[in-house]
Structure 1
Amino acid sequence: MFIHIGDDHVIQSKDVVAIIDNSLISSSSIIEEMIHNQRKEKQVIETEDHQAKSIVITNDVIYFSPLSVYTLKKRANMMTTLNKLEDFSEESDF
């Protein structure tokens, strides 16, 4: 399934490694170093207005998202719920 993470970016949910609140960047030197290294490799996609609320880490790219961790979590859970609904709809043969 796919998750819309803001700024016209849609990613596959299976590629998501972590979703982190943007305010936690400064509290972790490991996260800061990872982002710095990925920026060197041009593997970081910033938000258009640079007002990121969360960071979405995938296997290949780090996205800065204008959406909160809570909103992204709800979107991911919504996709899981929709998958379950699709499973039930296939079982009912009329």
Structure 2
Amino acid sequence: MYIHLGGEKNIRSSELVAIFDISIEKSSKISKKFVSHARQEKTIVNIGEEEAKSIVVTKDKVFYSPISSATLKKRVNIFYANA
């Protein structure tokens, strides 16, 4: 099953590690370090031109999604409820 992250980007549900609200990037030292490391490794992907509302972590990449974390979490829950 795939999860739509916005724009033209879909990921396999099996690759999903975590979904965070974008505000965590500024409020947590650990998340700041994580994002900084992802930038150094060039594993960050910005989806679309809109302002990011959530951070989606997969096994290989970190996506900045224009879709809210609440909406993305609902999509994941729908997937697992139907599985």
Q: Same fold (TM over 0.5)?
A: yes
Question: Can you list the C-alpha shifts for 1:12-46, whole angstroms capped at 9, x where unaligned?
Answer: 11211110000111111111111111111110001
Match in the other structure for 2:76? 76
Pair member with larger Rg: 1
Residue identity (%) = 40
**Which has the larger share of strand?**
2
**1:62 Cα deviation from its structure 2 partner:** 0.2
Match in the other structure for 1:22? 22
Which one-letter code corresponds to 1:29 in the other structure? K
Question: Can you list the C-alpha shifts for 1:60-89, whole angstroms capped at 9, x where unaligned?
Answer: 100000001111011112222333xxxxxx
Match in the other structure for 1:10? 10
SS in structure 2 of the partner of residue 32 of structure 1 = helix
Kept in 1, the 8 Å contact 2:56–2:64? The answer is yes
Match in the other structure for 1:33? 33
What is the distance in 2 between the residues matched to 1:34 and 1:24? 11
Which one-letter code corresponds to 2:33 in the other structure? E
SS in structure 2 of the partner of residue 48 of structure 1 = coil
**1:10 Cα deviation from its structure 2 partner:** 0.6
TM-score (norm 2): 0.89
What is the distance in 2 between the residues matched to 1:63 and 1:10? 11
Counterpart mapping for 1:45-56 below 5 A? 45-56=45-56
SS in structure 1 of the partner of residue 23 of structure 2 = helix
Q: How many positions carry a matched residue from both structures?
A: 83
What's the Cα RMSD here?
A: 1.3
Structure 1 stretches of at least 4 aligned residues deviating more than 3 Å after TM superposition: none
Query: Any stretches of 5+ residues in structure 2 without a counterpart?
Result: none
TM-score (norm 1): 0.80
